Structures are given as structure tokens and as C-alpha cells.
Amino acid sequence: MNLISKSSLFITISGLISKILAAIYRIPYQNLVGDRGFYAYQQIYPLLAIISALSLTALPNVVASLCQKNKKEDIQALFVFQIIMTTLLSLSLVIFNKEIAVFLGSRQFAPSIIITAVVLLTVPFISIARGFAQAELDMTPTAVSQVIEQFIRIVIIILAAVCYLIFDWTVYTTANVAACGNLIASLSVLFYFSKKNLKIDLIKSLIKNVNITYLTDIGLSSFVFIFFSVYLLLFQFIDALFVKKTLVESGKIEIVAEITKGIYDRGQPLIQFGLIFSTAFFTTFLPKLTKDYYIEKENYMTESQSFFEFIYYFNTTLSLGFMCILGSMNRFLFEDNNGWLALEIYLGTIALSSFIQFFHQKMFIEENQKKSFIYLSFGLLLKIMLTPILTYYFSVIGSSLSTVLPLVMILILYIRETTISLTVCKNRKFIFSLIVMSLTVLVSQYYLPSRTRLDNLISILVSTFSGLVVFLTISKRLKVFEDKLWSYLPFINEK
């Protein structure tokens, strides 16, 4: 295995570990602090998650790309621009911390806003360090720092939840202390890089004789890449701004609105867990598609079609399976089945965002980033418009619709532009397999007990296994898929 393959494998594994940890930790947190406590944390989470995404993947990838092209002036300009922007944004957050906190639902979020401001200041240094390492095809610093960051953050968040029970903290105090996890994690990553490749003389050389006009050379592609990296987090931030506020305006008392928003937020770890698999497939296969586009155009078209078909089949099956076991999963993870319909609708995000990611990445490879940016921007504006309206009239069911409908519209826009054949969507054998799988899961759950958490866990395991066996058996016997599509699964070597 060569250096590139080892690096790719290492970063993929560390990324999966981090994503699994990120999806799982919010479940014990919710169990310890309840739906209202979960609401409080989820109000500040999107801001911190956006900052984390910028320093982990978005900006380091841009820096690495510029390094590989030997564009020192562009790197200098980007680094100084980051410092200027993060400083200005941090000052704004500190100065207007109370006003922003009120907009998020309570003045008691003010400490979290200040913590967010400090975390933001670490972004230029962490992103430049990770970017330089990646440019040298050394993924170890990024991989190790990613796991360090996630582990420290989660430990502090869970400790905050435990303190909520022991010391009778308020949900706001708990959320503010949990936010400190991001700050301590970011400082730990900086310390790690100070022992690796983040040298003071390197920082000085980047700041010296910089010409900010070189930013124009970095281009739209980098901006669109960064934008897409935080896209779903922006949707979450819009929810944080509007959902609880609109629930209060619709007639719910403050505490009930917060609990209702907390129930709606249960969907976040479920979505994140569902997207882990798609992320792994995209990470593994996109480099090959990119290479084919520049070297073997004909093979690129064939491989793109095959990969889309795999993504369609896999994510449709995964999403429907998730929907079938949601009731049991809700009771197992959160002790009740509150918000079932809103969460069912929200789970549609798994398939929709995976399809959108495919078409976005395809347009990105084909250097058609401008249209992709327009489609994504339209979806974001639609989300901003729909969230308060639909939430006001339909509570959190409307909130879920305000996420799913913009994604549907974005997908339609992508489909209108694509050269990918959509005949795969009319595969009757696949539809039949899904129906039989769903009936198997639902019937098995109907007859299995669901009183306790253990009952629900057994129900999830038995019904999922039964549905999977039935689906795979029918798929094989009816030859639902081409043989090549099975090869995208990780336990098959040839592609």
C-alpha cells in the first residue's frame, strides 16, 4: 500500500470514528438532561459545529490544494484574510453576545456566544496546520487531531450533563459548560500541532509581505466547497433561530416550546448516524471519479452512472429501514415516542442530502460550481422563508417539512441539469423488495414486546436483521441490481 492509499485509509477511519462519536454522544446527553436540556445545547451546537467543520475539513482542504499548486501568495492571503475575518467576527460576537443570545432564545446563552468567539480565533491556525500536513500527503496529524478534538469535546459535554444531575444546574448552565468542550478541544489541537508542524516562524513568514488581492485567485470553487461543507449545519442554525421562537408565537408557553424543540432535535443524531455510511462511500470513491474525468472521460460517465445507482439504492433502503424502526428506536434511545411523525419526515434528509451530495460533487468535478452554488443558495433561502411559516401552523412537523421541502427543490434543480439516467428510480423489482422488507420489519415489531428499553432494543435488532435478510434474499434471487453495484460495498474487493 503506497503513501497516498495509507493516508486516505487513515483519514477515512479517523473520520468515521469521529462521526460515530459525534452521532452517539448526544443520546446519553439527552437522557441525562431531558428534552429541554437537549434543546438548550442544540441552540448553540450549530455555531460551534460550523466552526469545527471549517477548521477540520473545509479550510484545510483549500490550503492543501493551494500548497500542491505552489501558490504561496494565495496561501498568505487566505491565512491573513482568515485572521482578519475571525477577529472581526469574534469581536462582534463578544460585543453583541447578549443580543445574539436573546435571538437564540435566552440571554442565558450569552456565555456560550463568548466561548464561540474564542473558539473562532483558533480556526486560522488549526486549518493552516492541517492544510500543510495534508499537502505533504501526511494525514496523520489531521486524523489524530480529529479524534483528540472529538474525544475531549465529548468527555466535557457528558461531564456537564452529569453535573446537571449532581449539582442541580440549570439547562443553560449545563449547555454553557458543554460549549467549553469545544474551546478546550480546540486549544488541545493547537497544542498538538505546536509539537508537530505549527511553528512560529512559519506563521511569521505567512504574515510578512502579504498581498490580500491574491484572494481573488483562490476562486469560486474553494468558496463553494466551504459552503457545502457546512450546508446542513446552516439548516440547523436556521432551526435554532426560528423554531422555538415561532412555537412561542403560535401559542405555546416558553417551557413547552423548549421541550418541543428538544424533541424535534432528537432527529439530529439519527440523521448524523445515517449519513456516516454515505460519507464513507463518497470519501472512498470520489477521488477515482475525479481521476477518471481528467483521464478517461468515457469511463467517467459509466462510473458516475453506476455510483449514482448504488447511492440511490443504498440510501433509499437505509432511509426506509430507519423509518420503519423509528418508533422502537425513539423509545430505546429517548424512553418515549414523542415527535414520531416530525422525526419520520425529518429522516427523509438522509436520502435527499446523499443524492444532493452526489450531484453537487459531480458538478464540482465537471467545474460547474457556479450553478451548484446557485441551487444551494436557493435552497437555503427557501429554508429561511419556510421555517417560521410552517412551524407556526404545523409545529415541529412543519419544521421538518421546512428542511425536507428545500432539499427536494434543490434535488429537482440538480436533476434538470444532469446527464445521469434516472431509470433506476423505476426499478419495480427494487420497489417490490422494499415493500416486502418494510412489511417484514413492521410485522415483526408489531408482535415483539416494546414496554422497556431492553424490549425495544431486542425489537430493533430482530426486526432489522429479519428485514435485511429478506431484502438481500429477494434482491439476489430477483437480480434487482447489476452485479457491479454489489462491489461498492466494503467487503467486496473489486470495483
Mean pLDDT of 133-139: 76
Q: Which residues, 6 or more positions from 94, have their beta carbon under 8 angstroms from its beta carbon?
A: 113, 114, 117
In a domain, 346, yes or no: yes
Burial class (CB in 10 A: 0-12, 13-18, 19+), 190: middle
How does residue 212 score in pLDDT terms, banded at 50, 70 and 90? low
In a domain, 447, yes or no: yes
Least confident interval from 131-140, 208-217, 439-448 = 208-217
pLDDT (tens digit, 9 = 90+) per residue, 31-86? 999 999 999 999 999 999 999 999 988 888 888 877 766 667 777 788 888 899 99
Is the distance from CB of 483 to CB of 475 less than 8 angstroms? no
The full DSSP string for 322-370 is HHHTHHHHHHHHHSS-TTHHHHHHHTHHHHHHHHHHHHHHHHHHTT-HH
Count up the domains in the chain and report the number.
3
Residue 300 has pLDDT above 60, yes or no: yes
In a domain, 102, yes or no: yes
Instruction: State percent of the chain over pLDDT 70.
Output: 91
How does residue 495 score in pLDDT terms, banded at 50, 70 and 90? very low
Q: Which residues, 6 or more positions from 43, have their beta carbon under 8 angstroms from its beta carbon?
A: 104, 105, 109, 175, 240, 244
For residues 344 and 392, membership in a common domain is answered with yes
Could you give the CA distance from residue 417 to residue 402 in angstroms, rounded to a whole number? 24
For residues 41 and 159, membership in a common domain is answered with yes
Q: Which residues, 6 or more positions from 296, have their beta carbon under 8 angstroms from its beta carbon?
A: none
Rounded to 5 degrees, what are φ and ψ at 420? -70, 135
Mean pLDDT of 223-239: 94
Q: What is the chain's length?
A: 495
pLDDT (tens digit, 9 = 90+) per residue, 402-418? 999 999 999 999 999 98
Q: Which residues, 6 or more positions from 90, have their beta carbon under 8 angstroms from its beta carbon?
A: 117, 118, 120, 121
Mean pLDDT of 135-152: 85
How does residue 129 score in pLDDT terms, banded at 50, 70 and 90? confident
Mean pLDDT of the chain: 89
Could you give the CA distance from residue 141 to residue 224 in angstroms, rounded to a whole number? 25
Could you give the CA distance from residue 124 to residue 62 in angstroms, rounded to a whole number? 12
Please tell me the predicted confidence (pLDDT) of residue 295.
85
In a domain, 474, yes or no: yes
Q: How many CB atoms lie within 10 A of CB 330?
A: 21
Residue 8 has pLDDT above 70, yes or no: no
For residues 464 and 488, membership in a common domain is answered with no
For residues 144 and 12, membership in a common domain is answered with yes
pLDDT (tens digit, 9 = 90+) per residue, 79-116? 888 899 999 999 999 999 999 999 999 999 999 999 99
Please tell me the predicted confidence (pLDDT) of residue 60.
87
Task: Supply 403's cell numbers.
Answer: 428542511
Least confident interval from 137-151, 297-311, 366-380, 426-440 = 137-151
For residues 436 and 494, membership in a common domain is answered with no
Please tell me the predicted confidence (pLDDT) of residue 15.
74
Query: Looking at 9-97, which runs of residues are DSSP E strands?
Result: none
Domain ranges, residue 259: 238-427+480-495
For residues 370 and 436, membership in a common domain is answered with no
In a domain, 331, yes or no: yes
Residue found under cell 415541529: 396
Least confident interval from 37-41, 114-118, 138-142, 195-199 = 195-199
For residues 285 and 171, membership in a common domain is answered with no
Closest CA to 377 of 256, 228, 275, 216: 228
Angle at 140 between CA 138 and CA 146, to 5 degrees: 130
The kind and range of the H/E element at 146 are helix 140-166
In a domain, 128, yes or no: yes
Could you give the CA distance from residue 305 to residue 422 in angstroms, rounded to a whole number? 9
Could you give the CA distance from residue 30 to residue 27 in angstroms, rounded to a whole number? 5
pLDDT (tens digit, 9 = 90+) per residue, 316-365? 999 999 999 999 999 999 989 999 999 999 999 999 999 999 999 999 88
Q: How far apart are the first and last CA of the chain?
A: 17
Please tell me the predicted confidence (pLDDT) of residue 289.
87
How does residue 215 score in pLDDT terms, banded at 50, 70 and 90? low
Least confident interval from 165-169, 204-208, 235-239, 305-309 = 204-208
How does residue 437 score in pLDDT terms, banded at 50, 70 and 90? very high
Least confident interval from 120-124, 363-367, 386-390 = 363-367
Mean pLDDT of 354-383: 94
Please tell me the predicted confidence (pLDDT) of residue 219.
66
Q: Which of 218, 249, 276 is the last residue of a domain?
A: 218
Task: Supply 105's cell numbers.
Answer: 432564545
For residues 149 and 96, membership in a common domain is answered with yes
Please tell me the predicted confidence (pLDDT) of residue 90.
97
For residues 142 and 114, membership in a common domain is answered with yes
Q: Which residues, 6 or more positions from 443, have their beta carbon under 8 angstroms from its beta carbon?
A: none
Angle at 15 between CA 13 and CA 16, to 5 degrees: 65
Please tell me the predicted confidence (pLDDT) of residue 98.
96
Helix axes 220-229, 369-417, angle to 10 degrees: 60
How does residue 144 score in pLDDT terms, banded at 50, 70 and 90? confident
For residues 153 and 190, membership in a common domain is answered with yes
Could you give the CA distance from residue 449 to residue 2 in angstroms, rounded to a whole number? 51
For residues 367 and 457, membership in a common domain is answered with no
For residues 439 and 470, membership in a common domain is answered with yes
Mean pLDDT of 136-148: 82
In a domain, 226, yes or no: no
In a domain, 451, yes or no: yes
Rounded to 5 degrees, what are φ and ψ at 193? -70, -25
How far is the CA of 207 from the CAs of 75, 131, 186, 204, 342, in angstroms? 10, 16, 22, 5, 50
Could you give the CA distance from residue 125 to residue 200 in angstroms, rounded to a whole number? 10
- Rounded (10°) CA dihedral 267, 268, 271, 277: -150
* Sign, CA torsion 386/388/391/392: negative
How does residue 181 score in pLDDT terms, banded at 50, 70 and 90? very high
